[in-house]
Amino acid sequence: MLTEVRWIHQAALGPVWEVAPHPYATPKEAPGSFREHDVAEFPGGMRPPSWTEVAGAMRDWVRHAGALRDVASPFEEIAALHGQFERIHPFLDGNGRTGRLLVNLLLVRLGYAPAIVYKRDRARYLRALRSADAGEPGALGELLARAVLDNLYRFIVPAVAGPKRLVPLAALADRGVSEDALRMAASRGRLRAHKGRDGQWRSSRASVDEYKAARQLHPRRSPTE
């Protein structure tokens, strides 16, 4: 997997490097190669290891990542690995994006959907990452788990389910209509939907398209929707 780590960094940073290479990089520190510089202490007080320790630290990291296949619920463990990778800071630049891509590689290999951390969640993600740096990966693990679930509902479930199959409303929300609006429409009988014993509303893409078409015909019918 160490070769994959290097390849992911090269793929993620290579195009940027061609335009704006790191000003202090040596030829040996191009994308895909570990740093040969020590890195200054981060604002939060975390200091990455000396560059001479990076190769050994990354071999340990790969070994820990390989053990994830034996873990029943891996989100906190993946969060801890993500924090460890960022503390090692193996490359001169691009460690953040490489680390997040590695998180998704681990998730997909374990059978989970990728985790997308949106810009609006950046501050919460950074706080959780700092907690992971301090040895408390729980908040970051929860953030990753929620991101996987959100991605599952928004992209994967709608793609797999047919237009008439009942799915949670979260999987049917889009820019045109929010999950809250769909829930309100379902409770008012304006959207064909079914409320399960778990209290969750489910509908279909066909029913939501029907509802949206009716709403366009009667735009003043319910301004809250």
Active site residues: 89
b/e string for 152-189 if b means 16 or more Cβ within 10 A? Answer: bbbeebbeeeeeeebbbbbbbbeeebebebbbbbbeee
Q: Using CA atoms, how far apart are residues 60 and 193, in angstroms rounded to an integer?
A: 51
Q: Using CA atoms, how far apart are residues 81 and 107, in angstroms rounded to an integer?
A: 12
Q: Which of 89, 90, 88, 68 is nearest to 78 (CA)?
A: 68
174 strand-pairing partners = 177
DSSP-assigned states of every residue in 36-48:
-S--PPPTTS--P
User: 3-state class of 162 per DSSP?
Assistant: coil
Run of H or E including 167: strand 167-168
User: 3-state class of 108 per DSSP?
Assistant: helix
Q: Using CA atoms, how far apart are residues 225 and 70, in angstroms rounded to an integer?
A: 46
